[in-house]
Each structure stands twice: as C-alpha cells, then as structure tokens.
Amino acid sequence: MVLPRAARTQRRTRIQEEKEERILEAALEVFSANGFRGATVDQIADVAGMSKPNLLYYFRTKEAMHRALIDRVLDTWLDPLRAFDAEGNPVAEIRSYIRRKLEMARDYPRESRLFANEVLQGAPHIEDELKGPLKALVDEKAEVIRAWAKAGKIAKCDPYHLIFAIWSTTQHYADFDVQVRAVLGQGNSGDGRFEDAARFLERLFVDGLQVSEQPTP
Amino acid sequence: MVLPRAARTQRRTRIQEEKEERILEAALEVFSANGFRGATVDQIADVAGMSKPNLLYYFRTKEAMHRALIDRVLDTWLDPLRAFDAEGNPVAEIRSYIRRKLEMARDYPRESRLFANEVLQGAPHIEDELKGPLKALVDEKAEVIRAWAKAGKIAKCDPYHLIFAIWSTTQHYADFDVQVRAVLGQGNSGDGRFEDAARFLERLFVDGLQVSEQPTP
DNA sequence: TGATAATTTGACCGGTTGGTAAACATTACA
DNA sequence: TGTAATGTTTACCAACCGGTCAAATTATCA
C-alpha cells in the first residue's frame, strides 16, 4: 500500500504522528514568514529536515498542508475570546482579554502572522472559517458586550468595533514586530515592549487619554 | 541607445511619464494584493496593459519597480503624522489624526496593504525606511505627545504605544478588510463601517470604556 | 525469520517565473 | 524629410516550482 495518510482510516503510527508534527511545525515557520504563495514546499521540507517527496507522502499537496495547519491553529487562536465571561466584571474581563491577547502575540507570533498573511491577501483559503465559526463567536461575545453597555456597566459603544480594536492593537505587536522594533530602536532585546504595551493598552481602553477630573479643592 | 530610464539623466519624455505612471499604478494593485514574492511581472504587465518586455524596459527588475513604488507611496502615507501639530489642542489633534488615518484606510487601502505585506514578512525591502525616516518622524511626534502629557493636557502615557495603537486600529480597516466584512456580515456594501469605526475610536481614545462619573444629583 | 506493509529517496516532468536578445516600429528633431 | 534615439514586440532561456514515479529501504508482526 502506498496510500498517504489522508486516505487511510486506521489509527496512525508513531512515525506518522512524529512526522506530521514536524511538518506542521515547519509549515507554520515558513507559511507565517512568507505567506501561502511565497512559501515553497522545498523550503518547508528543508526546515522539517526531510526530502520533498517524503513530505508529500504525508501531505499530498501544499494546500493540504496549509489547511491542516489552519485547522489546527485557529482553535487555539480563538481561545482567549472564548474565555470572555458574561458573568465576570466587565472592565476586568476586557482587561484580561487584552492581557491574554498580548501574551499570545508575544508567545505565538507565527500563528498571528499566519492569519494576517492570509487575511491581508483576501483570505482565499479561510473565507469559510471567517464567515462561519469566527463570525458566530464574535456575534455571541458582541451580544455580551452590548448587554454590559445597556446595563450601564461600561460605556455605550459598538461591540464589534471594540473587538476589532482589541484585536488590532494587540496583534500589531506580532504582525508588525519589525516595525515596532525599528521605531523603538535598539536596546529592546527583551520583551519589555510587551509590558509597556500592556500598561498602555489597559489604561487606554479603561480611561482613555483625557485627563481625569481630579477633585480640584 | 537602449538604456532604460533608470540609467538616463536627461529629462523624461511624455511617453515615459505616462507609462511609468501606468506601471506604478498596476504595481500597486498587484503588490498590495499579493505581496512582493506573490506578485508576478506578467501580472503587473497585464494590469498595466502592456507586454512584459515593454514593462521591463521602464523598470529593469521587479525589485526596481517595488522600490520606486515604495519611495513614491511612503511619503504621502506619512502625511497625516506630519500634520500632527504641537501647537494645537492635544485631544483635538489626536482625534483628527485618527480621523485622517481612517480616511486613508478607506480611500487608499492598497497603500496600507502594500506596507502591511512588507512589514509582515520582515520588511526585507524597506528596513532602511523604517529605521531612518519613519523612526525619525515618530521620535519627533512622540516628543510632542510626551510634552503634552507632562503639561497635564492629556493623560500620562507612553507616546510610542499611543502611536502604535492609532496606527493599528485605523489600518486594521484596510489591512483586514475581508475579515471586518466577514464578521460584520452582509448589508455593509457601503462605507458605513468607517463612520462607525470613527465614532467608536474617537470615543475610545478620549474617554475609554469606563462609565464616566455623571453628576448624580 | 520471512513476507508484507510503510516509509524514503533520486530522477524526473510540465508549467511558471524573472529576465534577455535582437529585430522591428515609432517618435523627436535638425 | 532623413536619421538617430526611443519605444515595442516576438522568441527565447535558465532557474524554480509543485508534484509524480518507481525503485530502494525500513518497520511490523505472524
């Protein structure tokens, strides 16, 4: 038998587990850095440390690899939004969502760039995911936010644009990392910018920029 | 003589002006939608309505086209930040900067995506621009913001991260357009989302989300 | 152990890509 | 108008790309 894994129904062997793992790790590295079209199968095979035909034995096409990667990563990528709790304290929930998203940008920048590349170029491979599960989840959480606003627990605002604002400000530190580093200059070898960003963003989203009315005695 | 334009020093002919214009317009269309590596010279020639060798007569290489495009676009792209006025009213300046950046995202999304593609993939072609002119301009405006904060005209905050936040929230509507549309659902054929975004962002940056202490009589 | 299935490899293929060569056409201008 | 410079096209190339194939190697297990 020479059927590659995708066509098999039996349980996967140890070798399959290991190789597919290595391939998807390499695919994440290469796709996130170059986009789908910019990535080459040779490059992925090289990073994965195997020959191209060997790689294509496990994933028959470049598209199949990309799809498997997207499926695997999208779920965990949306976890922070799922953790958004309707029962919690509104301001605290938003703060911790920002913090979690910033941690993701710091710890999983490749995943962020994978999606950014895709969406930026018109989302040709993940349109269904955007209009389906993503929209459904956002709709659900937007309703939570709307209820908070209605109850006077946070300022009245468009919940969708609030979510967009949190996404964009936090993912910016992953997707535009080189620009952030270039502008901040050297001397930021560590992750200090993430702590500064967290401080700034939590403050921004809660209080805004206007000077708060201090009791003027 | 068969020297292409780049090597010539004499004034450019009418034909050169026209063709280079058409080429850069086509290049913007194609590079912004596919990134540098994803774009093909054939594709750009096609959009420009000329043969590939003809195109390569005006720009000797794909890289030369890309560079010319970047040089041309970067300047206008930074105009809104340059307009940031140290003498103006701080909160009003920030509001109008947000508004201007949103208008750019609405009216020039291709320019935004051109840079986003580039930066996302490590800025291999514009590293110098980021570390040079861009950083210089941001440094200058950050100083203005810092002075405002010090004078108590706006809340104390990190000026660099404030600029990042304005960039990311506004450019999000150009760079992640398909995702924004997918999440908002159909029925957004017009530009209504930009007005909603403007309302939300101006409010966010000025007041934050916390309910403002209303005079409770 | 031996046979069978799973895995790996090198050689290769057709299509695409960025770019070139040279002949041909057009324009500018003395 | 004549001619030299400028502009355009056809044909082409070498490198690269995603993917195939058949043969060789290794793992599995009766």
Question: What are the pLDDT tens digits along chain A (217 aa)?
Answer: 445 444 444 446 677 889 999 999 999 999 999 999 999 999 999 999 999 999 999 999 999 999 999 999 999 999 999 998 999 999 999 999 999 999 999 999 999 999 999 999 999 999 999 999 999 999 999 999 999 999 999 999 999 999 999 999 999 999 999 999 999 998 777 889 999 999 999 999 998 888 765 444 4
Pick from A208, A169, A161, A153: which is nearest to B203 by CA? A208
Q: Quick one: which residue's CA is nearest to D26's C1'? A: A15
pTM, 2 dp? 0.93
Q: Which residues contact B15 (CB under 8 A, 6 or more apart)?
A: none
The separation between CA A198 and the C-alpha centre of its own chain, rounded to angstroms, equals: 17
- Closest nt to residue A14, judged CA to C1': D27
Comparing CB atoms, the residue among B33, B209, B212 nearest residue A157 is B209
Nucleic acid strand C: bases within 7 A of protein CB? 5-11, 16-23, 27-28
| A197 contacts in chain B (CB < 8 Å) | 161, 164
The confidence score (pLDDT) of residue A15 equals 75
The confidence score (pLDDT) of residue A213 equals 54
Q: Cα(B135)–Cα(B112) distance, rounded to whole angstroms?
A: 18
| A211 contacts in chain B (CB < 8 Å) | 152-155
The confidence score (pLDDT) of residue A10 equals 47
Nucleic acid strand D: bases within 7 A of protein CB? 5-11, 16-23, 27-28
The confidence score (pLDDT) of residue B190 equals 86
Pick from A15, A160, A172: which is nearest to A101 by CA? A172
Whole-number distance in Å between B54 CA and D8 C1': 6
Q: Cα(A28)–Cα(A110) distance, rounded to whole angstroms?
A: 7
The confidence score (pLDDT) of residue A102 equals 98
Is there contact between B20 and strand D, defined as CB under 7 Å from any strand atom?
no
Comparing CB atoms, the residue among A131, A203, A210 nearest residue B207 is A210
* pLDDT tens, residue by residue, B77-112: 999 999 989 999 999 999 999 999 999 999 999 999
- Closest nt to residue A15, judged CA to C1': C7
The confidence score (pLDDT) of residue B94 equals 95
| B200 contacts in chain A (CB < 8 Å) | 157-158, 161-162, 165
**Per-residue confidence in pLDDT tens, chain B, 217 aa:** 444 444 444 446 677 889 999 999 999 999 999 999 999 999 999 999 999 999 999 999 999 999 999 999 999 999 999 998 999 999 999 999 999 999 999 999 999 999 999 999 999 999 999 999 999 999 999 999 999 999 999 999 999 999 999 999 999 999 999 999 999 998 777 889 999 999 999 999 998 888 765 444 4
The separation between CA A144 and the C-alpha centre of its own chain, rounded to angstroms, equals: 22
Neighbours of B58 (CB within 10 A): 21
The confidence score (pLDDT) of residue B162 equals 97
Helix axes A177-184, A159-175, angle to 10 degrees: 70
Q: How far is B176 from chain A (nearest CA, A)?
A: 6
Percent of all residues in chain A with a pLDDT value above 70, rounded to a whole number: 91
The confidence score (pLDDT) of residue B212 equals 63
Q: How far is B137 from chain A (nearest CA, A)?
A: 9
Pick from B206, B175, B180, B185: which is nearest to B96 by CA? B206
Q: Which residues contact A211 (CB under 8 A, 6 or more apart)?
A: B152, B153, B154, B155
Helix axes A109-120, B159-175, angle to 10 degrees: 40
- Terminal-residue alpha carbon distance, chain B: 85
CB of B70 closer than 8 Å to CB of B129: yes
CB of A108 closer than 8 Å to CB of A170: no
The confidence score (pLDDT) of residue B32 equals 98
Test mutation, B127, B141, B179, B213, chain A, max A CBs within 10 A: B179
Comparing CB atoms, the residue among A169, A176, A185 nearest residue B169 is A169
| A199 contacts in chain B (CB < 8 Å) | 158
The confidence score (pLDDT) of residue B8 equals 44
Comparing CB atoms, the residue among A33, A153, A209 nearest residue B154 is A209
Pick from A148, A166, A159: which is nearest to A95 by CA? A166
Nearest CA in chain B to A213: B213
| A183 contacts in chain B (CB < 8 Å) | 130, 134-135, 138, 160, 163-164
Q: How far is B58 from chain A (nearest CA, A)?
A: 25
The confidence score (pLDDT) of residue B39 equals 98
The confidence score (pLDDT) of residue A12 equals 62
